[in-house]
A and B are shown apart, each in its own frame.
Chain A
Amino acid sequence: MSGVSLSNIKKAYGPINVIHDVNIKVEQGEFVVFVGPSGCGKSTLLRMIAGLEETTGGTIDIEGADVTHLEAAKRGVSMVFQSYALYPHLSVFDNMAFSMQIARRPKDEIKQKVDEAARILQLEDHLDRKPSQLSGGQRQRVAIGRAIVRQPKVFLFDEPLSNLDAELRVQMRMEIARLHNQIGATMIYVTHDQVEAMTLADKIVVLKSGSVQQIGSPLDLYDNPDNQFVAGFIGSPKMNFLKGIVNEPRVDGKITITLDDAPNTTFDITCGSATLNAGDAVTVGIRPENIGLEHDETVGPTVFLKPEFTEELGGVSYIHTQTKDGVRVTIERRSERNRVDQEDLQVTLPVRDLFVFDADGARLR
């Protein structure tokens, strides 16, 4: 059975369409992450699932039941907000117990469930405190506790960690992963931090301007992006993109490309079934870790890069460079510290690691 399924979901605020025909299937017990740049409609989509926004078109199913027009409280979903949204006048205990008190559950059942959630989240010592007396991480745990006690079919998280500092964020990320293993409920998680997305998700949904760009497992998206947007969005540091031009059209499924930054070299590359003509513009992408600092024309084209500065992180370093046309290129090194001086580099872009996109950003290879 599917946990949540969205079919042809649309959302308009007045005349402005912000979500266009979104179709997503989330399996029961799956951890799905919505990522995308700011304003792409992640929160709107999540809030429609929660029942906090009306849907303009399409249907939402939760565990087989159509909930499109059901009120929020009856959908069996819990939501954890970025701002925590704890009730400031209630103690930690009462915050977590609130939904059951509203539903007039018996006192001992409430106590038992809240204690259970407090144990899972290590909040037992803080039950009498007010939210204002807690740290950010503790507040977020209370918010999660409040979601747990309702035993929802689906947990919804809207950037729950973005108000925390980096260290705490890593720790809470692991706690959320542990929680998912422990209770096995369906979870939908919104973030624009793609590290969070990669580490937590069973499945990532990449959104842009209210449309789904690609759905897949984290490594799928990393290895096989459908388009230039996904390729650039997934992975940190970002994939490098260089402009090129088709020299000769397809022969035996191969095209020949000249990079703008390496006008004297051409390379052949196998491209799917796309129809390309000589002179068409293409974009060639390569991940920072795949750029070779050795100059070796047999594996691919070579490009001159001017180093600007280097970030030394110990185990890994990033060399930030520019081509002569000012296109920024990042190179990742895992060894050989201090190898780079200020002289121009001639690097190799191995053909087997290249991605090729057409002028509209669609993946050719």
Chain B
Amino acid sequence: MGNMKTGNILLLTFTVIAACAWAFPLYWAIVTSIKPEADVVAGTIFLPETIDISSYVWALLETNIVRWYINSIGTSVLITVVVIMISMMCGYALSQIVFPGRRALFLIVLASFMVPSQALVVSQFILMHKFGMVDSWAGIILPQVIIPVVVIVYKQFFDSVPRELREAAKLDGCSEFQILFKLYLPLNWGITAALSIITFIMAWNNFLWPFLVITSEEMMTITVGITQVGDAFGVKYARDMAIAVMAAMPVAIAYLIFQRRVTQAIMLSSGIKG
């Protein structure tokens, strides 16, 4: 009994320390962003002496951040919608419809998610260039709409819907589309929500691809945009941190609201990966 208590306390201490170590940079970023630049350079103070939100005001007024927000939200939402629609239908076909080559197709999907997206960047860029989509939303979105792991998660969930339900729906006169949208989708709302959120976060956080495909400042997503700030105006720590905090804010909020679903989705996709 006593032993277990000591063990618990040790474990607790350890997790608290780990959490602090992990959270400290976040804390530091937020604190830095609300200090006057002079205090930042002076360093060493853990709590701001004077709170100064001028860095945020500057970011809103003097940079293209509103534009970047719109680009990020727009492309991320569209990517999420398209990814979910495509993956759901693809997963349904792989799981429920018998057609020649189904197994081969599934293996291809499986194989394609072993390929790191960085390896495809060059050919994707050439493709987008030929389509005339460089520096446009379409250019950002198209290469990101194929996420094999989402297809695989959907297939697995659809596999576990009892066969009789599908047959009952067939007898009730449903077409395949109706079976998918009136039966399989409502039965899998939870996983759909989880996959949507994690896709949204992935799209929002993506840096490499938008960085390559976007050439003008108006078309940048926020992850690309914030890198421009430092370059153009020299190192101003408070401003850099303010804009970084603003870039992360929507995702952080989304995460806080949908915490449980996100964890579930990460566990699912990593469970399949591992």
Please list the residues of chain A having a beta carbon within 8 angstroms of any beta carbon in chain B: 50-52, 72-73, 77-79, 81-83, 85, 87-89, 98-99, 102-103, 146, 150
B187→A89 contact, CB < 8 A:
yes
Q: Looking at the complex, which one of A50, A83, A85, A103 makes contact with B173 (CB distance below 8 Å)?
A: A103
Binary flags per residue of B184-216, CB closer than 8 Å to A gives 1, else 0: 001100000000000000000000000000000
- What A residues does B183 contact at CB under 8 A? 87
Q: Which of B167, B178, B182, B186 contacts A79 (CB 8 A)?
A: B167
Interface residue? B162 (CB, 8 A): yes
Chain B hits for A88, CB < 8 A? 187
Q: A81-B164, A103-B173, A150-B172 are in contact. List 20 more A-B contacts (CB 8 A).
A: A50-B171, A52-B171, A72-B167, A72-B170, A73-B174, A77-B171, A79-B167, A79-B171, A81-B167, A81-B168, A83-B164, A85-B162, A87-B169, A89-B186, A89-B187, A98-B169, A98-B172, A102-B173, A146-B168, A146-B172
Contact, CB under 8 Å: A85 / B165: yes
Query: Which among B167, B168, B178, B186 has the highest number of chain A CB atoms within 10 Å?
Result: B168
Q: Is the interface of B mostly helix, strand, loop or mixed?
A: helix
Q: CB within 8 A of A73: which of B164, B165, B170, B186?
A: B170
Q: A87-B183, A89-B186, A89-B187 are in contact. Are A99 and B164 (CB under 8 A)?
A: no
Chain A residues closer than 8 Å to B170, beta-carbon distance: 52, 72-73
Give the complex CA separation of A72 and B164 in angstroms. 13
Assembly CA distance A82 to B168 (angstroms) = 12
In the complex, what's the smallest C-beta–C-beta distance from B179 to chain A, in angstroms?
Answer: 10
Q: Whole-angstrom distance from the CB of A242 to the nearest CB of chain B?
A: 44
B185 to chain A, nearest CB (A): 10
> How distant is the Cα of A72 from the Cα of B171 in the complex, in angstroms?
6
Given A99-B173, A102-B174: A85 touches B186 (CB 8 Å cut-off): no
Q: B103 to chain A: closest CB distance in Å?
A: 15
CA distance A87 to B173 in the complex (A): 14
Compute how far the CA of A117 lies from the CA of B86 in the bound complex, rounded to whole angstroms.
39
B152-172 interface code vs A (CB 8 A; 1 in, 0 out): 000000000010110111111
- State A150–B182 Cα separation when bound (angstroms): 19
Q: Chain A residues with Cβ under 8 A from B178's Cβ?
A: 102
- The CA-CA distance from A246 to B186 in the complex, in Å, is 68
Write out the residue numbers on chain A whose beta carbons fall within 8 Å of the beta carbon of B164: 81-83, 85
Q: Which residues of B contact A50 (CB under 8 A)?
A: 167, 171
Min CB distance A67 to B, Å, is: 13
A-B residue pairs in contact (CB < 8 Å), sample of 17: A73-B172, A77-B171, A81-B168, A82-B164, A83-B162, A85-B168, A87-B165, A87-B183, A89-B187, A98-B169, A98-B172, A99-B172, A102-B173, A102-B174, A102-B178, A102-B182, A146-B172
- B167 & A102 in contact (Cβ 8 Å cutoff): no
Distance, CA A277 to CA B171, complexed state (A): 56
Expressed in whole angstroms, the minimum distance between the Cβ of A330 and any Cβ of chain B is 37
- Chain B residues, Cβ within 8 Å of A77: 171
Closest B residue, CB atoms, query A103: B173
Q: How far is the CA of A149 from the CA of B171 in the complex (A)?
A: 13
- Cα distance, A82 to B182, chains bound together (Å): 22
Query: Cα distance A52–B172 when bound, in Å?
Result: 12
Kindly list chain B residues whose C-beta atoms are within 8 Å of the C-beta of A98. 169, 172
The reply to whether A85 and B172 form a contact with Cβ atoms under 8 Å apart is no
Q: Which of B170, B171, B173, B183 has the most CB of A within 10 A?
A: B171
Chain A CB within 10 Å, residue with most, of B169, B172, B173: B172
B187 and A85 form a contact (CB under 8 A): no
Contacts of B165 in A (CB 8 A): 85, 87
CA distance A102 to B171 in the complex (A): 11
A78 touching B173 by the CB < 8 A rule? Answer: no
Which residues does chain A contribute within 8 Å of B172, judged by CB atoms?
73, 98-99, 102, 146, 150
Taking a contact as CB atoms under 8 Å apart, the answer to whether B173 and A73 are in contact is yes
| The 6 A-B residue pairs with the shortest CB-CB distance in the complex, in nearest-first order | A85-B164, A99-B172, A73-B173, A85-B168, A89-B186, A81-B164
CA distance A57 to B198 in the complex (A): 50
On chain B, the residues within 8 Å of A51 by CB distance are: 171
Please give, as numbers and ranges, the residues of chain A lying within 8 Å of B182 by CB-CB distance. 102
Bound-complex Cα distance A76 to B182 (A):
22
Q: Which B residues are in CB contact (< 8 Å) with A99?
A: 171-173
A79 contact set on B, CB distance < 8 A: 167-168, 171
Quick one: closest A residue to B178, CB to CB? A102
CB distance from A309 to the nearest CB of B (A): 41
> How far is A313 from B193 in the complex, measured between Cα atoms in Å?
57
In the bound assembly, the distance between CA atoms of A78 and B169 in angstroms comes to: 11
